[in-house]
């Protein structure tokens, strides 16, 4: 085994571990639990269908009374690694691509630590620790988080290239990786990544004085160029963010959702210290996938060794690898991230929420642990370089190995000596399993230390290094089992049936059906439930599963909603006595009372109708009072924003005058058959970019009833056409194409100075 070959073993081991953990994907099964089926697959399947029909995937008419599709950041329609789903079976392509991103993450860490000066063994440990960390594996179903996080080590690799060897090619790599991350579809992860590369660059410039102005300029230019490549997506999403319920940030309670409990730090020692939802043994509250931080026991020990060696100075400065100079940086990254992850469990994050910009933008402080697992993974690689064979190290290792074996054996036999009620307690059983697991892998770490060869150039050392990597991969691979349930690809097959009216899930029924009810499909403490009820789950009608079968639903399971639409649905929940009237104004004809069970409303409803009367309200006033008047009927009068009077309601009740809209992607055609003038009300979310014509003549679209659309129709009109033409489409496409062309030219140009590492 050559030295050159040994460099590649970490990638081989990582690929092998992923193949073993996710072998079901290779047999045709696909991810389905949670967000893959409730968000990402439905969005992309509908988008690719529109593209195959020659239409741009700009609008989703089936959820939320209509909602942006391309502008939906997490749909990731412009992310290149999502495009194979257009040509290949989509569910399999998405599942395999998600697992592939774990390899990309580990490979990037391998490259970054190599450029940082970490020795080959350390590179491998860092690559496995980050590529298989439970932070990523447990979140694998949240495709955009994984897609964005996978590019973090590549970004730092590119930044290190720019600051150490500033040239055009280094800047091009930075632009390419920043564009990929921005297009991946998770703003929170991209923002944390941007902050981390800023901290890293600042540390580099401070520790390598004088300031290299050329490097700083290329760094800024590379990031700006990456943003230019992603301009089309960023423009679209920026408009949605401004229009959304999060335009002014999120509320305190929502921002503090998923704050990290200090006790959860025990997860660093064992992934299953509190059990695992993979086998239904999770014994605490909260979401396992949000709290997961396990990087493997051996990498954690190595990370601790890096700190101890750096702090104690046992290696003389000239004997230390150059990478040891960055230990304080990564230690600070870990500490800061851990403190931020505590969220409401510490006074620091609430202070930042109140006083520091951007801390109001996102929920889940635990996601700061991206920094934690990244910093620990780098420290693990650095610490592996101090893996020695000293007398006292061997003495301590023998004791630790014996202790690990003893702890595992005692934990294994302990249930035989405990009272039955204690031994059968779920918490006790989980704790015993965790101690056994930690003892086994702790003992293996000790045995590997005792077996470490003297000659690092020998074949024996290469085989020993391979054994170390296999142990780390086995640890993390075992921890990953069952965290991403799979189903046959047929799960996503559209279900034919009669056309259904627009329906609505009340919040209490939806929460009970999804996560918290006795019969919930997706309880957070047991992933097996959904798999055992797979057919019922598929046919439940939950948002956004409805999109698979093209069944309209007022609900929209999307992080960003048009703010006025979100306010309208909040009003429905806050005013149960007026529920039916508000639902009628939203074009809803039925309400889900349980999965696949609908209650038909005792009133006529449709998505488009004509009214004679309009009531105008001054700008800035709330329509809620008018919408909650007992005598108001949405089929008789429409409420509009602007200057004007309230025309009297008809004195005699007239039959509802419903119309039949014809939906075609981003175009809606509505034949109008009215003898006199009036108002066409369309129960579609009012959103910038929609334009209307009446018999070919442009006309204005007004916001109807606080959330929807209305058009004044003159006498004799015969055809109304609405078209979604957002302002950002062509400017964004031009900037993105120009940026992509410029990056391509940079790659083709000759670097000004330096070269690239070949490792």
DSSP calls for 457-483 = TSHHHHHHHHHHHHHHHHHHHHHHTTS
Beta bridge mates, 697? 694
Q: Which domain holds residue 618?
A: 608-724
> 């979100």: which residue's tokens?
566
| 157 domain residue, yes or no | no
Q: How confident is the model at residue 546 (pLDDT cuts 50, 70, 90)?
A: very high
Q: Which of the two residues, 325 and 21, has the higher pLDDT score? A: 21
Contact 728, 239 (CB under 8 A): yes
pLDDT attached to residue 5: 44
| 704 domain residue, yes or no | yes
At residue 672, does pLDDT exceed 70? yes
Q: Give the mean model confidence (pLDDT) for residues 607-616.
A: 92
Q: Give the mean model confidence (pLDDT) for residues 543-550.
A: 94
Are 523 and 577 in a shared domain? Answer: yes
> Among the three residues 556, 581, 600, which one is the final residue of a domain in this structure?
600
Are 680 and 701 in a shared domain? Answer: yes
CA 553, CA 588: separation in Å to the nearest integer?
A: 8
At residue 695, does pLDDT exceed 70? yes
Contact 544, 47 (CB under 8 A): no
pLDDT attached to residue 501: 87
Q: Which of the two residues, 445 and 690, has the higher pLDDT score? A: 690
Q: Over the stretch 163-211, which tens digit does the pLDDT of each residue have?
A: 998 999 999 999 999 999 999 999 999 999 999 999 999 999 998 878 8
> How does DSSP classify residue 342?
T
Beta bridge mates, 486? 31
Indicate the average pLDDT of the chain.
89
| 433 domain residue, yes or no | no
Are 719 and 653 in a shared domain? Answer: yes
Are 595 and 620 in a shared domain? Answer: no
338 CB burial (10 A radius; 0-12, 13-18, 19+)? buried
Beta bridge mates, 641? 617
pLDDT attached to residue 646: 83
CA 583, CA 92: separation in Å to the nearest integer?
A: 38
pLDDT attached to residue 48: 97
* Percent of the chain scoring above 70 in pLDDT: 90
pLDDT attached to residue 653: 64
Q: Which of the two residues, 25 and 652, has the higher pLDDT score? A: 25
Are 614 and 714 in a shared domain? Answer: yes
Are 593 and 664 in a shared domain? Answer: no
Torsion-angle region of 713 (φ positive above 0: left; ψ -120 to 50: alpha; else: beta): beta
> How does DSSP classify residue 40?
I
CA 641, CA 437: separation in Å to the nearest integer?
A: 64
710: helix, strand or coil: strand
| 365 domain residue, yes or no | no
> 């070959």: which residue's tokens?
5
Tell me which residue of 220, 189, 567, 531 sits closest to 369, measured CA to CA. Answer: 189
| 595 domain residue, yes or no | yes
Are 587 and 633 in a shared domain? Answer: no
Q: What is the tally of structural domains in the chain?
A: 2
| 572 domain residue, yes or no | yes
Q: Which of 39-48, 302-311, 322-331 has the lowest mean pLDDT?
A: 302-311
Are 638 and 706 in a shared domain? Answer: yes
> 């072998």: which residue's tokens?
23
Measured between alpha carbons, how far is residue 602 from residues 300, 498, 590 in Å?
62, 20, 9
Measured between alpha carbons, how far is residue 470 from residues 5, 14, 295, 297, 477 in Å?
16, 9, 14, 13, 10
Q: How confident is the model at residue 398 (pLDDT cuts 50, 70, 90)?
A: low
Write out the two tokens for 215.
């490097």
Contact 294, 133 (CB under 8 A): yes
Contact 226, 174 (CB under 8 A): yes
pTM attached to this predicted model: 0.93
Write out the two tokens for 202.
């600042």
> Among the three residues 600, 626, 644, which one is the final residue of a domain in this structure?
600
| 707 domain residue, yes or no | yes
Q: Which of the two residues, 373 and 454, has the higher pLDDT score? A: 373
> 């630790």: which residue's tokens?
400
Are 615 and 715 in a shared domain? Answer: yes
Q: Give the mean model confidence (pLDDT) for residues 403-419.
A: 62
CB count in 10 Å sphere of residue 473: 26
pLDDT attached to residue 518: 82
Q: Over the stretch 12-57, which tens digit does the pLDDT of each residue have?
A: 999 999 999 999 999 999 999 999 999 999 999 999 999 999 999 9
Q: Give the mean model confidence (pLDDT) for residues 313-341.
A: 83
Q: Which of 79-93, 352-366, 420-434, 566-580 has the lowest mean pLDDT?
A: 420-434
Q: Residue length, the chain?
A: 759
pLDDT attached to residue 392: 42
Are 620 and 717 in a shared domain? Answer: yes
Are 633 and 562 in a shared domain? Answer: no
pLDDT attached to residue 132: 97
CA within 13 Å, CB half, 473: 25
660: helix, strand or coil: coil
Are 644 and 695 in a shared domain? Answer: yes
pLDDT attached to residue 580: 93
| 258 domain residue, yes or no | no
pLDDT attached to residue 432: 75
Write out the two tokens for 181.
């991350």
CATH, residue 619 = 2.60.40
pLDDT attached to residue 64: 95
Q: Which of the two residues, 288 and 442, has the higher pLDDT score? A: 288
Q: Which of the two residues, 454 and 101, has the higher pLDDT score? A: 101
pLDDT attached to residue 593: 86
């Amino acid at each position: 085994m050559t030295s050159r070959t040994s460099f590649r073993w970490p990638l081989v081991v990582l690929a092998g571990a992923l193949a073993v953990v996710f072998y079901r994907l290779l047999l045709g099964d696909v991810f389905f639990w949670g967000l893959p089926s409730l968000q990402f697959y439905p969005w992309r399947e509908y988008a690719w269908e529109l593209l195959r029909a020659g239409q741009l995937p700009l609008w989703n008419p089936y959820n939320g009374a209509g909602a942006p599709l391309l502008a939906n950041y997490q749909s990731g329609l412009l992310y290149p690694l999502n495009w194979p789903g257009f040509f290949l079976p989509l569910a399999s392509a998405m599942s395999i691509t998600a697992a592939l991103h774990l390899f990309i993450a580990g490979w990037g860490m391998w490259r970054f630590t190599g450029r940082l000066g970490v020795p080959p063994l350390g590179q491998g440990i860092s690559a496995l620790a980050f590529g298989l960390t439970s932070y990523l594996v447990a979140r694998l179903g949240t495709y955009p988080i994984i897609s964005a996080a996978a590019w973090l080590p590549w970004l730092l690799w590119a930044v290190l290239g720019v600051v150490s060897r500033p040239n055009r090619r280094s800047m091009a790599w930075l632009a390419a990786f920043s564009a990929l991350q921005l297009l991946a579809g998770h703003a929170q992860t991209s923002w944390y990544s941007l902050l981390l590369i800023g901290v890293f660059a600042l540390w580099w410039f401070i520790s390598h004085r004088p300031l290299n102005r050329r490097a700083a300029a290329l760094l800024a230019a590379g990031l700006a160029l990456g943003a230019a490549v992603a301009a089309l997506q960023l423009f679209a999403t920026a408009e949605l963010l401004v229009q959304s319920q999060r335009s002014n940030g999120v509320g305190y309670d929502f921002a503090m959702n998923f704050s990290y409990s200090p006790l959860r730090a025990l997860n660093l020692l064992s992934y299953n210290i509190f059990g695992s939802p993979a086998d239904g043994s999770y014994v605490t509250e909260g979401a396992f996938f949000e709290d997961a931080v396990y990087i493997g026991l051996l990498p954690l020990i190595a990370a601790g060794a890096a700190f101890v060696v750096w702090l104690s100075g046992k290696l003389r400065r000239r004997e230390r690898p150059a990478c040891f100079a960055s230990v304080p940086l990564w230690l600070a990254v870990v500490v800061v991230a851990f403190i931020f992850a505590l969220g409401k469990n510490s006074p620091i994050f609430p202070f930042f929420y109140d006083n520091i910009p951007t801390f109001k933008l996102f929920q889940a402080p635990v996601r700061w642990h991206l920094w934690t697992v990244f910093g620990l993974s780098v420290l693990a690689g650095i610490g592996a370089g101090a893996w020695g064979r000293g007398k006292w190290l061997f003495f301590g290792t023998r004791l630790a190995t014996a202790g690990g074996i003893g702890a595992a054996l005692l934990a294994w036999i302990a249930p035989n000596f405990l009272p039955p009620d204690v031994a059968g307690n779920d918490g006790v059983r989980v704790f015993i399993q965790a101690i056994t697991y930690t003892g086994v892998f702790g003992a293996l770490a000790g045995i590997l230390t005792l077996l470490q060869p003297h000659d690092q150039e020998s074949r024996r050392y290469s085989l020993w290094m391979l054994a170390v990597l296999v142990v780390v991969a086995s640890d993390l691979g075992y921890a990953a089992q069952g965290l991403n349930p799979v189903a046959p690809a047929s799960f996503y097959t559209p279900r034919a049936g009669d056309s259904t009216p627009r329906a609505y899930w009340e919040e209490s029924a939806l929460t009970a059906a999804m996560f918290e009810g006795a019969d919930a499909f997706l309880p957070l403490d047991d992933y097996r439930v959904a798999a055992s009820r797979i057919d019922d789950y598929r046919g439940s009608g939950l948002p956004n599963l409805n999109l698979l079968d093209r069944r309209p639903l007022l609900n929209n399971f999307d992080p960003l909603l048009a703010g006025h639409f979100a306010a309208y649905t909040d009003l429905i929940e806050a005013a149960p006595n007026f529920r039916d009237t508000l639902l009628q104004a939203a074009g809803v004809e039925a309400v889900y009372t349980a999965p696949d069970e609908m209650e038909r409303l005792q009133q006529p409803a449709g998505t488009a109708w004509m009214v004679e009367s309009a009531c105008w309200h001054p700008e800035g006033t709330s329509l809620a009072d008018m919408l909650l008047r007992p005598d108001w009927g949405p089929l008789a009068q429409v409420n509009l924003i602007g200057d004007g009077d309230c025309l009297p309601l008809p004195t005699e009740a007239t039959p509802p005058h419903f119309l039949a809209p014809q939906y075609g992607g981003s175009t809606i055609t509505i034949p109008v058959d009215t003898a006199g003038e009036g108002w066409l009300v369309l129960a579609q979310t009012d959103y910038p970019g929609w334009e209307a014509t009446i018999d070919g003549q442009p006309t204005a679209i007004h916001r109807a009833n606080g959330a929807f659309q209305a058009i004044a129709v003159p006498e004799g009109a015969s055809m109304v056409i609405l078209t979604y033409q957002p302002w950002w489409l062509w400017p964004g496409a031009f900037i993105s194409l120009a940026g992509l062309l410029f990056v391509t030219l940079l790659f083709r140009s000759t670097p000004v100075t330096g070269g690239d590492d070949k490792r």
